[in-house]
Amino acid sequence: MAKLYFYYASMNAGKSSSLLQADFNYRERGMRTMVWTAAIDTRSGAMVKSRIGLEAEAHTYAPTTDLWAKVIAAHDSEAIDCVLLDEAQFLSKEQVWQLARLADEAGIPVLCYGLRTDFQGELFPGSSVLLGIADALVELKAVCDCGRKATMNLRVDGSGKPVNEGAQTEIGGNDRYVALCRKHFSEALQ
């Protein structure tokens, strides 16, 4: 039975690397995958890229993309063995349910990778639904400067000072976000 998986973590925990490794494992065994990433993240174009240099071409999804329809259309022409989706925090509620339907009705495993919370400690919409309905939840680990598990994403400005206001979504990498444990996240915002 196919499942809907949610692999979540703070920034810099290796989510994209893990997705790319899973993609490689399927393809190495002669299986066909379909990789997706959020269109809102334009840093890499239609690619999933990891900080350690791994990358793969990807389809992009916007808030209005019908993932069920797109995957089923591709699956009907040549069977898809696994769907892998990066930046899952940007999924809409409807899209998460479409991915669940792919697992439940089409029998295609779906592996979603994304952030759990934003820079204010609030759940992203896609992450919220995935935490509620995924068959399997897997927390990937990042490390705070103190050595504890980093669970929070501190947004910083151009000079490295903490930011605690603004839009939920602001695309960036190490230049804009620092993964911290909850204690150091709270201290940085005080």
Residue-level length of the chain: 190
Q: Does residue 151 sit within a domain? A: no
What are the catalytic residues?
87
Neighbour tally for 96: CB within 10 Å: 27
CATH of the domain at 27: 3.40.50.300
Question: At 43, is the pLDDT very low, low, confident or very high (cuts 50, 70, 90)?
Answer: low
What total of structural domains would you count in the chain? Answer: 1
Q: Does residue 9 sit within a domain? A: yes
On whether the CB atoms of residues 20 and 54 are closer than 8 A, the answer is yes
Positions of E strands within the chain: 4-9, 33-38, 47-49, 55-57, 59-61, 82-85, 110-115, 136-139, 142-143, 149-150, 152-156, 162-163, 177-180
- 164-188: pLDDT as tens digits: 766 566 555 556 788 999 999 889 8
Q: What is the pLDDT averaged over residues 50-77?
A: 92
Q: Does residue 107 sit within a domain? A: yes
Q: What is the pTM of this model?
A: 0.90
Q: Which domain holds residue 38?
A: 4-141
pLDDT for 87 equals 93
Would you say residue 32 has pLDDT above 90? yes
Q: What is the pLDDT averaged over residues 111-136?
A: 94
The tokens of 15 are what? 């989510």
Q: Does residue 38 sit within a domain? A: yes
Question: At 33, is the pLDDT very low, low, confident or very high (cuts 50, 70, 90)?
Answer: very high
- 90-99: pLDDT as tens digits: 999 999 999 9
Q: Does residue 103 sit within a domain? A: yes
Q: Does residue 185 sit within a domain? A: no
